[in-house]
Structure 1
């Protein structure tokens, strides 16, 4: 290809760099919200290697927002529980299996084979005419311009140059993110730097392996066994000090390591790899019209099973903001609250996971239970709050919202879509004037008069109303109708200040 070959120009509302699970999800959410997307990735297709193995009910709500939850369900296994063993093999702590339907409207925890999760997202992307997928394209530069963003890439099939012109760009391009380097963001390091040997197997019915996820304590090299899905199993071993990592993943050495559980007679080794677990969060999530998400913004140790989940939360938090800025008159400053909220939230999971990992050499029930409760697991403790951002701090905002059903059995998100929701009890709804109701229904909120479990949840909270954001976090909960009126007005002014002023 000649150096003079003119670059192919592709235009879109948003360029998404990196089409792993976070990039694929945010591309779907943006297109679902009516934006045009160019999605770029260096690889020709999904990487068919096991990586993430856990998602939760919150992530199923994200898939529900796209109408993809039921397409994903057949590939999932509802979490069956976990146990933590000490060095002598005694069980010191456990986690129960997931309930059939948790507060998010789905089981609280699943095991998943990440390539299958990604395949559901990619299939949906390829059906959407608003998405231009540029695979086998290596991004070489990302630059803010007067009009938005310019992404420069090379088509790896023939070496031809491509330039994507967009209003915004989202870098979801992993731990080696060129987008992060382009905006000069650096990681804040929370001190973890541990190599682990990870081996994935397909087992036969004769394999004598635990029925649930198991953490094995060892003062030098703790191990984790994960019952992934179907016949896929994973073993993870913390590398011993000064261990030869290249030799450690040789098949004969992996088989020796797992010999107390399985052998070549009852299992097939799919892959051995070294994963270096780190605990990192970027110091800047945005520069101009370029934003970061997923592993480009943070790296999470796997001990809580929250790495993939944390990236999906980024996508849910960012997509509606981009939609509202680009299509609904919201101020560009709305995007600043994305990084402030997500940074603190991700940091909570990352530091908790790091502490949990440190317990695996010598676990105690008190320490394990305490750390799991820090993220509100299995109904214990409280889920973490977002960092400062777009919610009513004085009225319970910033926490994850439940997803109650209506009296007819419909889940709340199916009623409101990927929008703000005002869940209001019947008596309060009757107190709205016709003008107030009309104004609410013409604005950013979807009004839902609570009945059935939704009404019961409001009563349980001793409130009459809750405003739920599109990313399923609470904007606020309210005890009086005047408080609701003030909150609606404040939200309208934050999302579309000129329209709010005109309306009032």
Structure 2
């Protein structure tokens, strides 16, 4: 990565990424990995150290796997050990099991993470990529766009010098207060949550006698959540009391008083504290022309499911393959149209479920907690939600997250797919593909993966001759016979054709 002073001439690139938190960092890395030239802009001087996301799942590890960063991140993670929900009398009323060592995604289903360490892995990777220019201490003040691209007017906050960035497309991943969202006249749809919580992180010593697993403590006015983050880092979150003075709530003496039933100053060091107002919001416009939103710029998720960070990463993996194919492979710009429809409905499901879960923390019951966790398919219970309308075959099981089996040799399936569409099918079926089928595979850049014995078993478990998987690891369709698969390939190729007649 080039560390660049404010340039006199406009910077040019394929994609400008505004906001370099975990979502922007992943977007920029995925773009750069495809060979696209990226300018990455962030208003901060470096990674923010405030307490923020603490949970990722196996799906997010697949995104890191795609970038070759999963093993680099793993030492900073702690596999989820389980959770318990206590009522106001301190009795356990519901639990979540610990994550298995290898879940359906090929990785443990759930991890705890210290977000600045995740960001550090992404930022280091960006700085190793020569097609990325990083501009920190830089804010975007205006944008304009035409048929060829987007012009961003920005300013270095240290030197006060203005600069321009010319990009074919721009991704706004600049958080809940997104400037990019404001500049494209996008507004949030509010699902009604507006709840301040006090969040504090501690480094504990061996003297601390606190739970090994995440614990939710019920209280009629101020429920609390305890999280065993990673190593010796522990987090406590408290819903603010009505009319509480939030400016004083994070004073160290008030924080210590609040956590006194669990830890004392001789058992821990207060690392940082902040007030976060939990909201449930989804943008009504995810795209305007050549400008698109991702992460908190597009949605805000209350943390009760631990899915805020995960939801943003899903945006990244869904968006970047479309941008790559439009810019590098001459796919029609319409390929970007369904990004917002797919992601907004999916994010809304998680946001509404998390909001409802938050209301149960004052008086949790086993049935209410189990039902809400099952609505997002947690730890193998229930079914994950389907994407909103978009590029998949809903009549044949499309729009849901694919699992990631291993081959007989122990290779994870995604290693065979790359960041591409993949058609996994038995050897016999693959040998029967017609020349037109092969043309459709080529036009949509679909990787054909003839199944070995292990992948044959996976196909059989799904009663399938073939399974077509998208680059973001969501299923395009599950097909019982070759005729169904042929029709699906033709339909997929149609999304890539500027003249639909070429795929008929």
* Corresponding residue number in structure 1 for 2:389: 388
Determine whether 1:323 maps to 2:324: yes
Q: 1:106-158: CA deviations, max 9, x gaps?
A: 00000000000000000010111111111111111122223210111111231
Q: SS in structure 2 opposite 1:8?
A: coil
Following TM superposition, by how much is the alpha carbon of 1:273 offset from its aligned partner in structure 2, in angstroms? Answer: 0.9
Paired residues for 1:212-361 under 5 Å: 212-361=213-362
* Corresponding residue number in structure 1 for 2:485: 484
- TM-score, structure 1 normalization: 0.97
| Larger deviation, residues 210-219 vs 425-434 | 425-434
Following TM superposition, by how much is the alpha carbon of 1:502 offset from its aligned partner in structure 2, in angstroms? Answer: 4.5
Following TM superposition, by how much is the alpha carbon of 1:205 offset from its aligned partner in structure 2, in angstroms? Answer: 1.1
For the aligned residues, what is the CA RMSD?
1.5
Following TM superposition, by how much is the alpha carbon of 1:221 offset from its aligned partner in structure 2, in angstroms? Answer: 0.5
CA 1:142–1:457: 2 relative to 1, 3 Å: same
Paired residues in the alignment total 499
Q: 4+ runs of 1 displaced by more than 6 Å?
A: none
Determine whether 1:52 maps to 2:50: no
Paired residues for 1:145-156 under 5 Å: 145-156=146-157
1: distance between equivalents of 2:334 and 2:287? 11
- Structure 1: tracts of 5 or more residues without a match: none
CA 1:466–1:198: 2 relative to 1, 3 Å: same
1: distance between equivalents of 2:50 and 2:436? 56
Following TM superposition, by how much is the alpha carbon of 1:442 offset from its aligned partner in structure 2, in angstroms? Answer: 7.0
Determine whether 1:164 maps to 2:165: yes
- Structure 2: tracts of 5 or more residues without a match: 1-5
Q: SS in structure 1 opposite 2:105?
A: coil
* Corresponding residue number in structure 2 for 1:136: 137
* Corresponding residue number in structure 1 for 2:78: 77
* Corresponding residue number in structure 2 for 1:89: 90
Cα pair 1:8 1:161 within 8 Å, conserved = no
Cα pair 2:443 2:493 within 8 Å, conserved = no
* Corresponding residue number in structure 2 for 1:410: 411
2: distance between equivalents of 1:379 and 1:288? 39
| Larger deviation, residues 448-457 vs 310-319 | 448-457
Following TM superposition, by how much is the alpha carbon of 1:9 offset from its aligned partner in structure 2, in angstroms? Answer: 0.5
2: distance between equivalents of 1:321 and 1:49? 32
1: distance between equivalents of 2:470 and 2:378? 22
Following TM superposition, by how much is the alpha carbon of 1:443 offset from its aligned partner in structure 2, in angstroms? Answer: 4.8
Following TM superposition, by how much is the alpha carbon of 1:223 offset from its aligned partner in structure 2, in angstroms? Answer: 0.2
Q: SS in structure 2 opposite 1:264?
A: coil
CA 1:29–1:365: 2 relative to 1, 3 Å: same
Following TM superposition, by how much is the alpha carbon of 1:19 offset from its aligned partner in structure 2, in angstroms? Answer: 0.5
* Corresponding residue number in structure 1 for 2:175: 174
1: distance between equivalents of 2:442 and 2:299? 38
Q: SS in structure 2 opposite 1:361?
A: coil
